């Protein structure tokens, strides 16, 4: 009993809290820690025992090395229709994320947090987004390459977006087979090929 009484007196002396308050706050802190950690780590991982680094030394086996994430090279697609481009919207995690600006298709997989499912620009993935980008619009009706009726300022905004994409992302193809082809900020009727 002497050890327990000494511990209780020590808690009160150092913290200024009664032992009941101290243990209540300690328990609450553990619960908050578990909740916050579960936001970033799988809850089952919290309950696993940590790997003992000395155990691999005792068995004369090298410690397992973490594998670096695999980075996929951009796939060159060449000519793609708008319908084919829609398959690259992030719904299949094994396919790259692609989007088109002024008929040029860019691999935006490196920015999956922005263009992937749940990202703020996910709407643009797998689509020709020239009109939407020039208007700074998230309206699904603006997800097309039609530049008719855009002001000079809106075309300049689109040009800025295109320069950013050319600088940051790899061009992997171009859109074909649409009724309208985008060419240097102007809309021209394309020739249809059978």
pLDDT, one tens digit per residue, over 66-97 is 554 455 666 788 898 999 999 999 998 889 99
Q: What is the mean pLDDT of residues 39-43?
A: 63
Could you tell me if 134 and 154 are in contact, meaning their C-beta atoms sit under 8 angstroms apart?
Answer: yes
Distance from C-alpha of 66 to C-alpha of 104, rounded to nearest angstrom: 37
| pLDDT value at residue 37 | 72
Provide the pLDDT confidence category of residue 184 given band limits of 50, 70 and 90: very low
CB atoms within 10 A of CB 114: 14
Query: For 113-163, how does the pLDDT look when each residue is reduced to its tens digit (9 = 90+)?
Result: 999 999 999 999 999 999 999 999 999 999 999 999 999 999 999 999 999
Is pLDDT of 44 > 50? yes
Cα separations (Å) of 18 from 25, 32, 65, 143?
Answer: 11, 21, 48, 64
Q: What's the mean pLDDT when you consider all of the chain? A: 80
Using 50, 70 and 90 to split pLDDT, how confident is the model at 48? Answer: low
Q: What pLDDT sits at residue 51?
A: 56
| Residue whose C-alpha is closest to residue 105's, from 179, 162, 178 | 162
The whole-angstrom separation of Cα 170 and Cα 137 is: 24
Where do the domains of the chain lie? 3-39, 78-175
Choose among 86, 76, 81, 124: nearest CA to 103.
81
Structure tokens at 97: 């994320």
Q: What is the mean pLDDT of residues 31-46?
A: 70
| Domain 78-175 classification at class level | alpha beta
Whole-model pTM?
0.57
Is 52 a residue whose pLDDT tops 80?
no
Q: Is the pLDDT of residue 21 over 60?
A: yes
């Amino acid at each position: 009993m002497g050890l327990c009484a000494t511990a209780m007196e020590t808690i009160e002396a150092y913290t200024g809290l009664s032992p009941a308050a101290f243990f209540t706050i300690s328990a609450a802190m553990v619960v908050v820690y578990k909740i916050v950690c579960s936001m970033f780590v799988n809850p089952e991982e919290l309950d696993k025992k940590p790997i003992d680094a000395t155990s691999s030394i005792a068995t004369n086996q090298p410690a397992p090395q973490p594998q670096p994430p695999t980075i996929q090279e951009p796939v060159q697609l060449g000519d793609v229709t708008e319908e084919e481009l829609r398959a690259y919207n992030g719904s299949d995690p094994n396919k790259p994320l692609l989007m088109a600006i002024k008929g040029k298709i860019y691999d935006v997989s490196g920015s999956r947090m922005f263009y992937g499912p749940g990202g703020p620009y996910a709407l643009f993935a797998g689509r020709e987004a020239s009109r939407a980008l020039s208007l700074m619009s998230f309206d699904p009706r603006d997800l097309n390459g039609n530049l008719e009726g855009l002001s000079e300022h809106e075309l300049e905004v689109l040009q800025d977006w295109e320069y950013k994409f050319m600088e940051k992302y790899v061009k992997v193809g171009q859109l074909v087979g649409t009724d309208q082809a985008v060419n240097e900020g102007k809309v021209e009727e394309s020739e249809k090929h059978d």
